[in-house]
Amino acid sequence: MKISPIRMELTQIQREILTALINLQRRESRAIKGEEIASIIDRNPGTIRNQMQSLKALHLVEGVPGPKGGYRAITAAYEAINLDGNDDVVDVPVIRNGSPVEGATANEITFYTVMRPNQCSGIVQIIGNIREFNVDDEIEIGPTPVNKTHIKGVVTGRDDTTNRLLFDIKEMTSIPKIPVKNLARPAITIDPDLSLLDACKKLVDSKARAALVGKNGDLRGLISMEDVVRGMAEGKEEMPVEALMERAFPSVKANEPLHVAISKLGKTGDCQVVVVDSDVPTGILEATDLIRYMIRF
């Protein structure tokens, strides 16, 4: 016989315990000890144990015996705090006044004013403890998993019963989820024996800022306009391209989303990334193309 959960309003501490339990359970994929929950929501471990008995009676939590035991939230617990138990586990960081909030992740963001030019506000549901948030605290949320949205704002209110924060948005950025191949330019290839001067002419004629260096299918490196200009300024215009090319360069798979390419450019400091399709370099994505695309939004 299937036992349905008793329908009743949860107390605030019960909601805090369930959200902390679910957050840890999703992250760790194991039973969670009461002491771990107590640490996250800043409560006495004895209080957690007492409340767990009530949550067991409500058929929201089950106990797991043994040295590695603890507590597990069951499906009804997700429903009780309006979460989808089938969602993939994704942590969306939450930062308060410059410091990450341990054990907290953003579950749902709703915008309720977007038409006013000088004001944009929203509501974020937090899995974890929100009691340390106060009005006028600075908050950062993100990046989110799909469009890599990152939000900065100021807290304007707190609803402890639903674990939601109200906030005014000060800054918001988002990276569209499109594959890098949609923005990449077809790669041109320069013979490694070509002089820097001739390579410069080829780049200019092709309106490209970088080219692959190779011969007969043998890819040897990458040469950028910056490399060419630097070499020519040093009087090396007749030197072969192979002498000044970059032998190591960042690459990204053609179907990867834009944020992967942006992350690689940010880490390496390069101005372009080579796009690879089925292990074959097919294009080059330049930072200027990314900037040009992003300013459309």
Edge to edge, the sheet with strand 280-286 lists: 185-186, 280-286, 272-277, 251-253
Q: Is 119 helix (H, G, I), strand (E, B) or coil?
A: coil
Residues 6 or more apart from 210 whose CB is under 8 A from it?
Answer: 203, 222, 223, 224, 225, 271, 272, 284, 286
Tell how strand 105-113 and strand 121-127 pair up. antiparallel
Spell out, as residue ranges, where the chain has pLDDT lower than 70.
1-8, 82-90, 114-118, 295-297
CB-neighbour burial class of residue 237 (10 A; exposed 0-12, middle 13-18, buried 19+): middle
Q: Is 204 helix (H, G, I), strand (E, B) or coil?
A: helix
Q: What is the model's pLDDT at position 1?
A: 34
Q: What is the model's pLDDT at position 295?
A: 67
DSSP state of 115: S
pTM of full prediction above 0.75: no
Using an 8 Å Cβ cutoff, are 252 and 275 in contact? Answer: yes
Q: What is the model's pLDDT at position 4?
A: 42
Q: What is the model's pLDDT at position 221?
A: 93
For the chain, the average pLDDT equals: 86
| Domains, the chain | 12-80 (1.10.10.10), 94-172 (2.40.30), 180-294 (3.10.580.10)
| First-to-final CA distance of the chain | 54
Q: What is the model's pLDDT at position 297?
A: 53
Residues 6 or more apart from 166 whose CB is under 8 A from it?
Answer: 121, 122, 123, 155, 156, 157, 158, 159
**Residue length of the chain:** 297
Q: What is the model's pLDDT at position 114?
A: 64
Residue 96 phi/psi, 5-degree rounding, is -115, 120
